């Protein structure tokens, strides 16, 4: 079974709808992240959480919100989706006990979101 | 914050050709350096890493050397295979949080 799972894997929605993307992990990592990937732009950080009570904005948080329901679950919400939020979204985790030099990130398979 | 510049793709090669993907970075302090790979339809996964100057990271035939004097971390492979076709991301990580900053990615296409 995959260590980092994302649901749904694909979603098509309409402008103005509220959307939630979910991420679960079985790696036991405290740190979780949400990224979006756009062609030619690489990955950009939306939000990150170092533990259940610690949530931080990333580079492009406008239009998004997150919820860390438990160590293993980190959800991303689009309160009112717009077409330029069409992208591939990735959840990732890392282990703070290996902070710094070994801060390898482990990625989920991604959610492809299309906003019409 | 950190920034990274990767050569633009796609890079198209024939099987068994030599590969270089250039990466230069700016970072605060002394970053750790990573290359991630994204195979079609999948999430990113760590390919290799280096944590101090002159360190060479290696994995699956790929290598990259941490060059502090030129702030570079170029990815190389002596003989690419069709299965290496993927998108490659260079990512320095520094500062207190060590969250990586990803480059724009370089697509590699290897033909038989």
Please report the beta strands in A1-53, taking only residues with DSSP state E, as ranges in sequence order.
4-7, 10-13, 19-25, 31-38, 42-51
Residue of B nearest to A38 (CA): B104
Q: 3-class SS at B14? A: strand
The rounded mean pLDDT for chain B is: 93
- Looking at the complex, does the CB of residue B73 fall below 8 Å from at least one CB of chain A? no
Taking CB atoms and an 8 Å limit, are A90 and B42 in contact across chains?
no
Å from B106 to nearest chain A CA?
9
Give A96's pLDDT tier (boundaries 50, 70, 90).
low
pLDDT digits (tens, 9 = 90+) for A22-51: 999 999 999 999 999 998 888 999 999 999
Nearest to B50 by CA among B67, B26, B29: B67
Give the span between the Cα atoms of A90 and B76, in whole angstroms. 27
The per-residue pLDDT for B2 is: 83
Give the span between the Cα atoms of A80 and A28, in whole angstroms. 32
Taking CB atoms and an 8 Å limit, are A41 and B42 in contact across chains?
no
The per-residue pLDDT for B72 is: 96
The per-residue pLDDT for A95 is: 84
Q: Which two tokens stand for residue A36?
A: 């979006």
Å from A45 to nearest chain B CA?
8
């Amino acid at each position: 079974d995959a260590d980092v799972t994302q649901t749904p894997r694909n979603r098509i929605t309409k402008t103005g709808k509220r959307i939630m993307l979910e991420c679960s992990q079985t790696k036991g990592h405290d740190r979780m992240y949400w990224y979006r990937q756009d062609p030619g732009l690489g990955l950009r950080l939306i939000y990150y959480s170092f533990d259940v009570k610690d949530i931080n904005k990333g580079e492009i948080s406008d239009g998004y919100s997150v919820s860390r329901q438990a160590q293993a679950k980190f959800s991303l919400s689009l309160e009112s989706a717009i077409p330029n939020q069409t992208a591939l979204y990735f959840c990732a985790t890392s282990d703070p006990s290996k902070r710094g030099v070994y801060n390898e990130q482990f990625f989920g398979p991604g959610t492809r979101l299309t906003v019409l | 914050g950190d920034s990274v510049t990767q050569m633009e793709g796609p890079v198209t090669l024939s099987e068994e050709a030599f590969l270089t993907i250039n990466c230069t970075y700016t970072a605060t302090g002394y970053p750790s350096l990573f290359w991630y790979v994204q195979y079609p339809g999948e999430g990113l996964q760590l390919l290799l890493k280096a944590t101090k100057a002159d360190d060479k990271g290696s994995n699956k035939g790929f290598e990259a050397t941490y060059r502090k004097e030129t702030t570079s971390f170029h990815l190389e492979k002596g003989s690419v295979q069709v299965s290496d076709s993927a998108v490659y991301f260079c990512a320095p990580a520094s500062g207190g949080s060590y969250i990586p900053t990803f480059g724009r990615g370089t697509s590699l296409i290897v033909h038989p």
